[in-house]
Every structure is written in structure tokens, then in C-alpha cells.
Amino acid sequence: MMSYFAKMKGSSTSPPAVGYREILWSWMGAFLGMLSVSYINFKMLTGPNSVFLIASFGASAVLIYGAPKSPLAQPRNVIGGHVLAAIIGVIGYKLLPDLIWIAAPLVVATAIALMHFTKTLHPPAGATGLVAVIGGPAIYDLGFSFALTPIGLGALILTLIGILFNNIPSNRRYPEFWI
Amino acid sequence: MTDETALCVQVDISDRDIFEAMKEISGYLDITPGDFKEVYLKAYRHALERLVGSVVAQDIMIRKVVYARDTDQLKAAAAKMSAAKVSGIPVLDDQMRVVGILTEKDFFKEMARGVASNFMDVISNCLNGRYCLAAPARDLLVSDVMTKSVITVSPKTAAMEIADLLSRKGINRVPVVDESNQLLGIICRSDLMAPQVKIK
């Protein structure tokens, strides 16, 4: 019982801060990546219910451009995690459309479990699953195609820009692995 | 992290060392120094096991072994051990199979039998001219005195396992034999020091 509380004190230290150059490259990468999905959303899609800019992409940008070395930021995780969680989310909403308050936690928890199982853990994908459940009519109308567009395509674009951009500076590289 | 204390070689790496190393790598590392240390220590133990496991008996054994025959006279064996400056030798039969081991301890046990209970008794009796304990042993054969339950290892036994065996059984040397119990070599405690240095 004592060790239970003792563990709450923490046992390690925060990792070191990154340098200014790293911060600048992170900023530029994220801006470019988000600009692409934002541009598609606001400038290319004109339909009344069309949506491309999903909140969880902002979180993916943190990983792909802010922590490109992280296993959580690799293409397998970004694309696999988002698509998997989107499918879980759509299923969750279709099964429990009148019990959103149960569907929401169910989808997120199941998405985490399946991402672990498939080695595609990507934290922002938890939000993608949630969006499928609470995103409103614009999302509900997409049905399972939500997993392909905007989610699959958006994740692919963010990853591609990560590959093109993160490899420009000599001390950065992306991805660490593909499969 | 209690299992790390079982390492033969303690790794002295601090969270501070890891923090400094992480600073040298540009880009955000998605791990705490504490977690890295845990990974490092476990990896180190795996490396150690791999290194030590890759060194086997035949890599470190002494091939030119001083030995005695079971039918040799004990005094001849004693002379052999004394000349070779060793405290124990394997005993072979006429087929060159290991049938026993003869050590200082066997001599002492034989000579102290019933009359002396420790080494200083033997010395004291001898210096005071009361009794020469070696005398009754003069006509004995090696097979009368040797330890018959001899522990052996195969040429493929890992050095780490042998080190463990020696300390567990409280012995200082172990003969290396083939499947038919023929002597191939011998490994002493000292041969196990830094074994990886000795391979090619």
C-alpha cells in the first residue's frame, strides 16, 4: 500500500529541452503539414457538409513534426492508428447512436486496445475515434468512408509532408521505421 | 529494478549521465531518463549473457593436463603434483577415462585420519616428532585416496555455468571430458577470470 502512494511521487526526471533549431524545424513542419489539410478543408472542398480538417490532426502534427523520433509518430502508427480508430468510432456510433455517453468512452478504450494489439498506437487517433462518435451530422453522414476521407487521406498527407520536410535538416530524419 | 543487483558487473550509470547523453542527441526523445536506464541495464545484462554464454569450456580449458593413473602409487602422484605446482589432478583409468580427482584435500584427509583434526595438528605433530602422518600413506595407491565422485563438464558447457558450478560445489577445478568420459582438458578457477579476453 505504501509503494502505491510512493509511486505517485515519480521516479525519474523530465527529458532535456530541445535546441532552438529543433523548435524552429518543428514549427515549420507543423505549419506546412497543417496548412495542407487546412487548405483542402477551406479552399478545395466547397460542399456544405464537407469536412477535412479534423481536430485530431493537430495532435498528430505534434508527434510527426515535434517528436519525429517517437515510435508513436511513425507512419505505421499515424496511418494505421487513425484508420483503425476511425473504423472503431463509426462502429461505436452505429451500434449505440442513442447512448453517445457510453459509446464515447467505449470507442476510445477499444481503439487503444486494438492499436496496442496491432502495434499502431498513435495517441491522436483516440480523438479520431471520439470525433466519429460526437462529431455531429457532418461526420455521421460519411459512415465508414470517414475512415478513408478525411481520416486516411489526411493522415497520409501529414505523413508524406513529414517524410519530405523532416529529412531536410542534417540532424533530423523521418521515419525511423516503416513496418 | 531489484534483479539488476544480481549482475556480476555492476553498471554505474546515473540518471544524470543519461540526461547528458540525451542532450547530445538533437530532437525530442520520447523517453524519460529513468526508463532509458531501465532499458540500458536490461540490455547490458543481455549483452553480458550473450558474451559469457558464447565462451564455452573448450575455449578456455588447459589442454596439457597433468594427471595420475588410478594404479599409480600415491607418492608418485604427490611428486607429480609438487613438480607441476598444482593442488589437484584428475585420475584416469587404463582407457584414459576420468575416474576420480586427487587434491591436496584428499591427501590431508588421508593423513589426518583419526589423528589430526586440522592442518595445524598435522604440522604440530610433525614438527614435534611425535608422528609422521605421511608414513602410513606411503604404500597406498592413488585409487585408495582420490575423490571418486568427480564432477566433469563437456567441451560445450558455458564458462558462466562452470563458474557457477565451481562456487556452488566449492571446488577449484573441473575436468572437461567427451561423451565417453575421456579427458580433454581441465578448467581452474583462474581460467575463468575475464574469459572473453582469452578468445581469439
Interval A66-79 mean pLDDT: 96
Q: Is the dihedral of CA B34, B38, B44, B47 positive or negative?
A: negative
pLDDT class of A168 with cuts at 50, 70, 90: very high
Interface of A with B in 31-70 (CB under 8 A): 66-70
pLDDT value, residue B117: 67
Q: Between B26, B28, B35, which is nearest A67 by CB?
A: B28
Identify the pLDDT of residue B200.
39
Position B1 scores a pLDDT of 37
What's the CA gap between B145 and B136, in Å, rounded?
12
Give the whole-angstrom CA distance, residue A24 versus residue B100. Answer: 75
Output the average pLDDT for chain A: 94
pLDDT at B199: 45
Judge whether B33 is closer than 8 Å to chain A, CB to CB: yes
Prediction ipTM score: 0.76
pLDDT band at residue B110 using 50, 70 and 90 as cut-offs? confident
Say which residue, B186 or B160, is predicted with more confidence.
B186
- Quote the CA–CA distance of A29 and A154 in Å, as a whole number: 15
How far apart CA A172 and CA B194 sit, in angstroms, is 40
Cis peptide bond prior to A150, omega within 30° of 0: yes
Per-residue confidence (pLDDT) for residue A78, from 0 to 100? 98
CB pairs under 8 A between A and B: 48
What per-residue confidence (pLDDT) applies to B50?
Answer: 81
Q: What is the pLDDT of residues A80-127, one digit of tens each?
A: 999 999 999 999 999 999 999 999 999 999 999 999 999 999 999 999
Chain B hits for A69, Cβ within 8 Å: 27-30
**Judged by CB atoms within 8 Å, which residues 74-113 of A form the interface with B?**
none
Closest chain A C-alpha to B47 CA, distance in angstroms: 24
Handedness of CA B171, B177, B183, B187 (dihedral sign): negative
Could A15 and B33 be called an inter-chain contact, meaning their C-beta atoms sit closer than 8 Å?
yes
- CB contact under 8 Å between A16 and B34, yes or no, is no
Q: Is B32 within 8 Å of chain A by CB?
A: yes
DSSP B54-87: H-BHHHH-BSS---EETTSBHHHHHHHHHHHT-S
pLDDT at residue B15, rounded to an integer: 84
A22 contacts on B by Cβ (under 8 Å): 26-28
pLDDT computed for residue A142 by the predictor: 93
Interior angle at CA B171, CA B180 and CA B148, nearest 5: 45
Residue A94 to residue A98: CA distance in whole angstroms: 9
Local confidence band at B191 (pLDDT 50, 70, 90 cut-offs): confident
pLDDT band of residue B122 (cuts 50, 70, 90) is: confident
* Whole-model pTM over 0.80: no
In angstroms, rounded to a whole number, what is the distance separating the alpha carbons of residues A114 and B132? 83
SS3 B185: strand
- CA of A103, closest CA in chain B: separation in Å? 31
Full strand arrangement of the beta sheet holding B68-69: B68-69, B88-92, B98-103
- The answer to whether the CB of B176 falls within 8 A of the CB of B186 is yes
Write the residue in B26, B28, B33 that is nearest to A13 by C-beta: B33
Q: Which of B30, B31, B32, B39 to mutate to test the interface with A (most CBs of A within 10 A)?
A: B30
First-to-last alpha carbon distance for chain A, in angstroms, is 41
H-helix or E-strand spanning residue B103: strand B98-103
3 state DSSP class of B188: strand
Rounded CA gap, B148 and B144, in Å? Answer: 10
pLDDT band at B101 (very low <50, low <70, confident <90, very high): very high
φ/ψ of B142, rounded to 5, equals -55, -45
Average pLDDT in the A156-168 region?
97
β-strand partners of B185: B176
